[in-house]
Structures are given as C-alpha cells and as structure tokens.
C-alpha cells in the first residue's frame, strides 16, 4: 500500500495517475466500517482512491476533545491494507499548515456555518474549511467522498465547491449504523456500557420523527417531543433541529419541494454524539 507523509511525494504519485479520476476520502482516522464504506464506494466506481488521515487541530474547539481523540494509526493502516488499492496520506501538521505559506483567503459561508454544530462549536467549520481547502488544493481530486453522518459539513463543503467553482463532484454516502441503529463514530469507543446502551435513543428519535412527519405533526412539535425523549434517556441535549437541507434554516412548516433533515447533537456519558436523518 502506498503511504505518503509528504505533499511532494503525494503529488508525484498523483501525476502518475495521468487521466484516471481521483477520489479523495478525508478522515481523522480511528477508522470504522462507516469510513471504509466511503472508500469501498470509490473503489467500486474504479476511481484511484486516496484516504487521508489527519486529526485536524483547527476544527476542535475543545482542547480536551482533541487530546482524547483516538489515534490508532497502525490499526488504521492495517484496515486500509485489507481494502487493497487505497493510497493513504498521513501528513504531519506542518505539511497541512506550512508556516511560510499564507493561509488562503477564508471563504465566507456564514449562512451555513453559524447554526447547529456551528453554534455549539465556535470556529469548528472554519477549521473544516481550512483543512478541506488545503487537501483539495494538494490533491486536486475529481471526486470527493463524504458521509451523511456529518450532514452540515457536507452542506458546507458542497457550497464551498460551488462558490469557488471547483471541478469536483461531491458524493455523500449514507450513514453506516450499528445493528441497534447507533451511527458508527470514532467517538463511540469512549462510551461506557450504560451510555452505550442508551446511545441508540438518538436513532430511535430520528425514526420516530419520520413517522410523526408522515402523521402530519408539525416540525416544532416533533422537535420539542424529540428533545424530551432524549432528556428522559439521560442525554444532555445541545440541539434537536429540523432544517431545510440546503439552507440549514429551521423549518416551521413542511416544505413542498425541498428536503428536510432532522439533526441532533447530544451528550451521554461525557461523549458528544451527532446524527441526522432526512424526514
Ligand atoms: P471523520 O474521521 O469523523 O472526520 O469522518 C471522515 C468521513 O467519514 C466524513 O466524511 C464522515 O462523514 C464519514 N463518516 C463518519 N462516520 C460515518 C458513518 N457512520 N457512516 C458513513 N460515513 C461516516
């Protein structure tokens, strides 16, 4: 397996692909089947597939969360090796943020970055935009593969690609879940037994919301009851929201033409979980 740590060697490899389309799959490692599904999708599409593993300090607003973030690199590389034909970029910090290079002019996507995750994690999406701008610039992929699990992130990157008119196609892969519905996440490893047993309540609320929508309940009503259900299960709730899939604005009525997505962020057993579902 090709493992690169330096931009220069990665770019030499990228040149050797000649016309073959490249798919980029950015990750922060601690890989699970959700991540691997993104890479398998790219391989099935016959794209040259590059996974990146970089725990991006700029997108952590909580220093403790950054310290605790799992980094099982040897295990990750082993998993990727088993996929075969995936190249991997594991850059040190200064390859992503070289001291001598001016940061690119930040793009203002404030209308998408302030709400939901943005209101609870100040600066988070500035960090995401910074790392994605750099990764896209270095690798110049034709395809970018991301997960629906981080729905707001996909909406922001989609808008960034459009705003900068980048020749990149974004593919959003559905969320992979454990058998009890809990969305796979690197953070799940930190759930204790009791918190792990209660964690699927987030999924249950999302499924319940789908049902309630079909029965004609209003977004507001569903949001309020959903939050109550999570509080009863012992969650601290950051937000439960039902938003327009493109504008990320809260919905008060069900729109006729646009998609609506329910988004949840809640903490259980000191682990903050996020999930979402189209309703
Ligand atoms: P992360 O390492 O958490 O930054 O995630 C890297 C990529 O994998 C992002 O595009 C995530 O949305 C995606 N991802 C994370 N968890 C899942 C999951 N359970 N199902 C599908 N994609 C996921």
Give residue-wise pLDDT tens across range 217-245.
999 999 999 999 999 999 999 999 999 99
pLDDT tens sequence across 134-157? 999 999 999 999 999 999 999 999
For residue 113, the model assigns a pLDDT of 95
How high is the pLDDT of residue 33? Answer: 98
DSSP H stretches of helix in the chain: 7-16, 33-44, 63-68, 73-83, 93-96, 110-113, 117-120, 124-139, 151-163, 193-198, 201-214, 219-232
* pLDDT for res 277: 98
Q: Supply the pLDDT for residue 107.
A: 81
Mean pLDDT of 1-24: 97
User: Which residue among 24, 25, 26, 27 has the greatest number of ligand 1 atoms within 8 angstroms of its CB, and so is best to mutate?
Assistant: 27
In this prediction, residue 257 carries a pLDDT of: 87
Tokens of 153: 């992130």
**Does residue 103 have a pLDDT over 90?**
no
- State the pairing for strand pair 236-244/48-53: unpaired
| Distance from residue 217's CA to the centre of ligand 1 (Å) | 31
pLDDT digits 0-9 by tens, 120-139? 999 999 999 999 999 999 99
Give the number of other CB atoms < 10 A from CB of residue 111: 12
Q: How far apart are CA 65 and CA 230, in angstroms?
A: 22
Strands (E), 54-94: 86-89
CB 135 within 8 A of CB 52: yes
Query: Pocket around ligand 1: residues whose beta carbon is below 6 Å from it?
Result: 27-28, 34-35, 37-38, 146-147, 149-150, 173, 175-176, 183-186
Q: Which residues does 164 contact at the CB level (< 8 Å), separation at least 6?
A: 107
Mean pLDDT of 96-107: 80
pLDDT digits (tens, 9 = 90+) for 33-71: 999 999 999 999 999 999 999 999 999 999 999 999 999
Q: Given this model, what pLDDT does residue 100 score?
A: 78
The pLDDT of residue 110: 83
Of the chain, the end-to-end C-alpha distance in Å amounts to 40
- Give me ligand 1 centre to Cα 173, in Å: 9
- Residue 140 region by backbone torsions, left for phi larger than 0, else alpha for psi between -120 and 50, else beta: left
Tell whether the model's pLDDT for residue 273 goes beyond 90: yes
Residue 6 has a pLDDT of 98
CA of 35 to the centre of ligand 1 (A): 5
Q: Percentage of the chain with pLDDT > 90?
A: 92
What pLDDT score does 102 carry?
72
Question: Ligand 1: which residue has its CA nearest to atom 6?
Answer: 27
Residue 251's pLDDT band, with cuts at 50, 70 and 90, is very high
pLDDT at 84: 83
Burial class (CB in 10 A: 0-12, 13-18, 19+), 252: exposed
Active-site annotation, residues: 35
Ligand 1: nearest atom to the Cα of 146: 10
pLDDT at 87: 98
pLDDT for the residue 120:
96
Ligand 1 atom closest to the CA of 31, numbered from 1: 2
**Residues 186, 70: Cα–Cα separation, whole Å:** 7
Ligand 1 centroid distance, CA of 41 (Å): 13
Cβ pair 150, 176 in contact under 8 A: no
Return the pLDDT at 80. Answer: 98
Report the pLDDT value the prediction gives residue 101, as an integer from 0 to 100. 72
pLDDT in tens, 105-117: 778 898 899 999 9
For ligand 1, mutation pick of 50, 72, 149 (most atoms within 8 Å of CB): 149
Per residue in 187-213, pLDDT (tens digit) is 999 999 999 999 999 999 999 999 999
- Check: CB of residue 110 under 8 Å from CB of residue 138: no
Dihedral over alpha carbons 224, 61, 235, 204 (to 10 degrees): 70
Cα separation, 110 vs 117, in Å, equals 12
Residue 263: which region, alpha, beta or left (left: phi > 0; alpha: psi -120 to 50)? beta
């Amino acid at each position: 397996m090709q493992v690169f740590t330096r931009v220069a060697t990665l770019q030499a490899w990228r040149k050797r692909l000649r016309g073959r389309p490249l798919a980029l799959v950015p990750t922060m490692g601690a890989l699970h089947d959700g991540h691997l599904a993104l890479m398998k999708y790219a391989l099935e599409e016959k794209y040259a597939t590059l996974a990146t593993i970089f725990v991006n300090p700029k997108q952590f607003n909580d220093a403790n969360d950054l310290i605790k973030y799992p980094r099982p690199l040897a295990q990750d590389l082993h998993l990727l090796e088993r996929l075969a034909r995936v190249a991997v970029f594991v850059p040190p910090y200064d390859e992503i943020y070289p001291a001598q290079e001016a940061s690119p002019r930040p793009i203002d996507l404030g209308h998408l970055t302030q709400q939901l995750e943005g209101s609870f994690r100040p600066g988070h999406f500035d960090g995401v935009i910074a790392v994605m701008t750099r990764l896209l610039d270095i690798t110049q992929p034709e395809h970018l593969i991301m997960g629906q699990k981080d729905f707001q992130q996909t909406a922001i990157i989609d808008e960034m690609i459009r705003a900068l008119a980048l020749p990149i196609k974004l593919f959003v892969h559905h969320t992979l879940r454990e058998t009890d519905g809990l969305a796979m996440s690197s953070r799940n490893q930190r759930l204790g037994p009791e918190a792990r047993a209660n964690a699927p309540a987030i999924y249950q609320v999302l499924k319940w919301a789908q049902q309630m929508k079909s029965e004609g309940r209003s977004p507001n009503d569903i949001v309020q009851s959903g939050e109550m259900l999570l509080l009863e299960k012992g969650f601290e709730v950051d937000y439960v929201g039902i938003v327009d899939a493109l504008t990320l604005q809260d919905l008060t009525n069900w729109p006729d033409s646009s998609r609506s997505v329910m988004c949840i962020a809640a903490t259980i057993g000191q682990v903050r979980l996020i999930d979402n579902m189209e309703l």
